Amino acid sequence: LRGPHESLESFLEAVDLLKGVLHFFSSNRNFKSSEEVLNQVNNLLTKSALKIEEEFRQLMGTYSKPIEPDRLFDCLPKPLLASKGDPEAVGEQPSKSFETVIYRTPTLIPPGILPLLHDIARQLVQDGNQQSCYRIYRYARGSALQLSLQKLGIEKLSKDVQRMEWVALKMNIGTWTQVMQITIKVLLAGERKICDQIFDGISFNKDQYFAELAGSSVMTLLSFGDTVARSKRSDESLFVLLEMYSVMHELQPEVEVISQGKLCSEIQDAALNLTKSLAQAAQEALVDFEEAVEKDSSKTIMQNGTVHPFTIEVNNCVKSLFESHAEDILGGDWIQRHRKIVQQNANQYKRVTWARILQTLTIQGTGCTGSSSPSDVSSSGVSRNMIKERFKSFNMQFEELHAKQSQWTIPDQELRDNLRLAVAEVLLPAYRSFINLFGYVMLVFLANAIILFCNMTVLLFLTFRSLIQRGKNPHKYIKHSPEALDQLLSQFFKGQQVGEQKH
C-alpha cells in the first residue's frame, strides 16, 4: 500500500476494497485459500490503520500552530481594538454594549486541509481507533490553544491575586478582560468551528473532545475572575467589578453556544456563577460607596481652590453609572439656575481679585485712564515717579496673584478656559493702553522745554520712546509685554507646583 499522503482518496478506496475482500472470505471460509487470504488482508488493514493514524497525526501537527497576538487582535471589533494596548484603562469608563459588533473568526486550519482531516477521522472511527483519534486531536489543538493563550499573557493571571498590590491587580484585570473576550469570541469560537467540521457526521462524542480541550483554559480565566470578585474591595474596585461583569454578561451567550452538551455544563455553570458573583460584588461595592458618602461630614476647603476629591468621585460615579447628562436627571431649570450661579461667582472673582490691580492702571485724581489721549496726559500733572510707582505696584500685585493662583486648580476645562478669557479681556486692554499712553508723557515734557530753549518744532520727537523707557533700567518697571502677560495668564488654575511656574 502506498501511503495516504500521496493520494488519500485512492488510499481510502483501497482500504474499502480490502474490507470488502475481508467480508467475502469471512463469509466463505470453505474456500481453500480463505485463511491465507484473511491473514494477508488483516495484515494490510492493520498497516493501513497505522498509516492513516500517522497521517492524521502529521496533518494535525503541521497545521496546528499558535496564533500570534496581532492576528487575534485583528479579529476584534474596532471599539476593543482601539484599547488593546492600554490594559490600565479598565474600569475608567463604563462598558458599552457590543451587541452589534462583529468578531471575525481566525483561520486556525487552512480550509483545504479540513476535508482531509474529516475523511481521515471518519476512517479512524470506523476502524475502531476513536481513542487514538481523540488523543491526536486533543494534543495538537490543545497545545496550539495553550501557546496562543500564553502569548496573550494568561500565565500571568495565575499569581496570587490576594497578595497583589492594586496597580498590579488592575493591570492583570485589564489583561483578563482582553484575554477573556479573545478566548471565548475568537479562539474557542474558531476551535468549535473546526471541531464541528472535522467530526461532522461522524458517530463520535465531539462535545467531550471540545469540553476537555477548552475546559482548562476557560476554567483558569474564570478562576481568576472569581478570586477578584471575592477579594477585598478598595475605593477603585466598583468600576473594575462593573467592567468585569459587563464582559461576562456579554460573553454568556457565546459560552452557551461553544459549550453545548451535558459534558460542557461545568463551563456553563462556572461562567454563570462568576457573572452572578461579579454582580453581587459590584452591588456591595456600590453600597459601601453610598455609606461612605453619607458618613462623610468633612467641610474642609481645598487650599488650591479645586473641587473636593470626594465631590469629584461622586460626580464621576453618577455620570459613569447613568451615562447621562445632568440635565436629564436634574432638569433644565436647575441647570440654568446653577449656570447663573457660576457666572455670578466668576464676576465676583474678577471684582474681588482684579479690581485693585486694575486701579494701578488708572491715574486717580488726574482723569487719566486707558482711554485718555496723550494731550490729556501732558496737562494732567502726571510725574515720572508716579508712573514708575504704578508699574512697580502692578508688577508686585500680578506676581503675587500668579504665584498663588497658578497653584489653584479648576478641573473643568471649559470653566477654566472661560475664566482665563474673562480676566484677559479686562486686564490686557487696560495694560496695553497704559503702556501706550504713558509712552508719550515725558516726550511732551521734553518737547516743551526744547521749544522754549531753541524756538524750534519738536514733532520729530513724537517717535521717541516714553520717559520710563528712555530712563535708566526701564526693565525694572516694565517687566512684561502684553504678550508675555497673556502667556502668564494661561498658567493660572493649572495646579502647578512652585518649581513648575515659569515667568
Between the ranges 277-281, 385-389, 456-460, where is the mean pLDDT highest?
A: 277-281
Report the alpha-carbon distance of residue 114 to residue 445 in Å, rounded: 101
| pLDDT at position 213 | 81
Query: Maximum Cα–Cα distance for the chain, whole Å?
Result: 155
Report the alpha-carbon distance of residue 358 to residue 186 in Å, rounded: 66
Angle CA 400–401–403, to nearest 5: 65
Report which of residues 411 and 372 the model is more confident about: 411
The residue type of 386 is M
3-state secondary structure of 324: coil
Q: Residue 20: pLDDT band by 50, 70, 90 thresholds?
A: low
**pLDDT above 70 (res 235):** no
SS3 content of the chain, % helix, strand, coil (to 5): 70, 0, 30
Contact 340, 409 (CB under 8 A): no
**Long-range pairs, 95-101, Cβ under 8 A, ≥24:** 95/242, 95/243, 95/246, 95/247, 95/250, 97/250, 98/250, 101/77
Q: Residue 26: pLDDT band by 50, 70, 90 thresholds?
A: low
Pick the closest to residue 440 from 426, 458, 417, 416 (CA basis): 458
Contact 154, 221 (CB under 8 A): yes
Residues 6 or more apart from 227 whose CB is under 8 A from it? 161, 162
Report the alpha-carbon distance of residue 226 to residue 275 in Å, rounded: 9
Residues 6 or more apart from 248 whose CB is under 8 A from it? 180, 225, 271, 274, 275, 278
Residue 295: CA count within 13 A, CB half-sphere: 6
| pLDDT at position 230 | 84
| pLDDT at position 238 | 80
Q: Residue 110: pLDDT band by 50, 70, 90 thresholds?
A: very high
Weakest mean pLDDT among 60-74, 368-382, 457-471: 457-471
pLDDT tens, residue by residue, 236-255: 778 888 889 999 998 988 88
Question: In residues, how long is the chain?
Answer: 503
Contact 275, 254 (CB under 8 A): no
Pick the closest to residue 202 from 109, 113, 125 (CA basis): 125
Pick the closest to residue 307 from 353, 351, 355, 342 (CA basis): 342
- Provide, rounded to the nearest whole percent, the portion of the chain with pLDDT above 90: 13
Pick the closest to residue 395 from 366, 434, 422, 442 (CA basis): 434
What cell numbers appear for 402 in the block? 500668579
Residues 6 or more apart from 143 whose CB is under 8 A from it? 64
**pLDDT above 80 (res 281):** yes
Q: Residue 60: pLDDT band by 50, 70, 90 thresholds?
A: very high
Report which of residues 130 and 140 the model is more confident about: 140
Weakest mean pLDDT among 215-229, 294-308, 326-340, 389-403: 294-308
3-state secondary structure of 494: strand
Going from the C-alpha of 363 to that of each of 296, 366, 395, 440, 465, the distances in angstroms are 51, 6, 16, 15, 20
pLDDT tens, residue by residue, 183-202: 988 998 899 899 989 999 88
Contact 233, 277 (CB under 8 A): no
**pLDDT above 60 (res 296):** yes
pLDDT tens, residue by residue, 150-164: 888 876 665 666 667
Report the alpha-carbon distance of residue 283 to residue 277 in Å, rounded: 10
**pLDDT above 50 (res 291):** yes
Contact 392, 357 (CB under 8 A): no
Distance between start and end Cα atoms, the chain: 91
Between the ranges 96-105, 252-261, 309-318, where is the mean pLDDT highest?
A: 252-261
Report the alpha-carbon distance of residue 87 to residue 174 in Å, rounded: 4
- Provide, rounded to the nearest whole percent, the portion of the chain with pLDDT above 70: 65
Between the ranges 203-207, 327-331, 354-358, where is the mean pLDDT highest?
A: 354-358
Weakest mean pLDDT among 28-32, 165-169, 452-456: 452-456
**pLDDT above 80 (res 497):** no
| pLDDT at position 206 | 77
Q: Based on the number of CB atoms within 10 Å of its own CB, is 193 exposed (0-12), middle (13-18) or buried (19 or more)?
A: middle
What cell numbers appear for 322 in the block? 447613568
pLDDT tens, residue by residue, 77-86: 765 554 554 5
Going from the C-alpha of 359 to that of each of 424, 434, 436, the distances in angstroms are 16, 11, 17
Helix then strand count (H, E) for the chain reads 20, 0
Q: Which helix (H) or strand (E) holds 407?
A: none
**pLDDT above 70 (res 294):** yes
Q: Residue 387: pLDDT band by 50, 70, 90 thresholds?
A: confident
